[in-house]
Chain A
Amino acid sequence: DSGVTQTPKHLITATGQRVTLRCSPRSGDLSVYWYQQSLDQGLQFLIHYYNGEERAKGNILERFSAQQFPDLHSELNLSSLELGDSALYFCASSFGLAVSYEQYFGPGTRLTVT
């Protein structure tokens, strides 16, 4: 157990819908990263938040957005869902700002878009 929690574990929804994925980082960690894992694209970095502020964006679609709240938990919002958005979404937390701090991954949320 990494100490990072994600909810829900599984999510099944229809195309065009909007969903919110939640991540609680390890106690004391200030950074939260979001990743998407799919068979064809592999593991892709989406976005990084540090202490409530967005720090970096990766391959995140405009239909996706995220935020980190004062209690440091983070939410990833996915809207206008398409079949291709079906994937495993991980968040990871680390103590510091630099990407070289060890990242601890949560168990993931499996999203299925039908």
Chain B
Amino acid sequence: GENVEQHPSTLSVQEGDSAVIKCTYSDSASNYFPWYKQELGKRPQLIIDIRSNVGEKKDQRIAVTLNKTAKHFSLHITETQPEDSAVYFCAAELTSGGGADGLTFGKGTHLIIQP
């Protein structure tokens, strides 16, 4: 089955700096890679996603890049703000012979924005 590794587990950056979180996956058949943000005590929320036919996608201060050959994808947050402090999860499509079955998540990155 799919295995997703996420690094780092904790990331502390100064407000205004950039943050990068990296994930690798094992199943070359995966074609969909979402990123979720989970604030303390709240539900995960989708912040951006990318499909395998695209190498990069941006949405304001957030961008995701995908390297299918190397099987890794990354989340980039620029001009970080205090409200970016949260746990971020990457995920990859879990596939079987019959098609996509669900999502496999990384262990999460606790992003801390220092004022």
Contact = CB atoms under 8 A, between A and B. Distances in A.
A56 interface: yes
A106 B43 contact: yes
Given A42-B106, A99-B93, A58 B43 contact: no
Interface string A85-101: 00000100000001110
Interface string B39-51: 0001111100101
A2 B102 contact: no
A99 B102 contact: yes
B100 interface: yes
Q: Which of A45, A48, A55, A90 has the most chain B CB atoms inside 10 A of its CB?
A: A45
A107 B96 CA distance: 29
Q: Which of A43, A48, A56, A98 has the most chain B CB atoms inside 10 A of its CB?
A: A43
Contact of B103 (A57, A99, A108): A99
Interface residues of B, number: 23
A108 B40 CA distance: 13
B100 A98 contact: yes
Interface in A34-60: 42-45, 48, 55-58
24 contacts: A2-B43, A42-B89, A42-B105, A42-B107, A42-B108, A43-B44, A45-B101, A45-B105, A57-B101, A58-B94, A58-B101, A98-B100, A99-B32, A99-B93, A99-B94, A99-B101, A99-B102, A100-B31, A100-B49, A100-B93, A102-B46, A103-B34, A107-B42, A108-B43
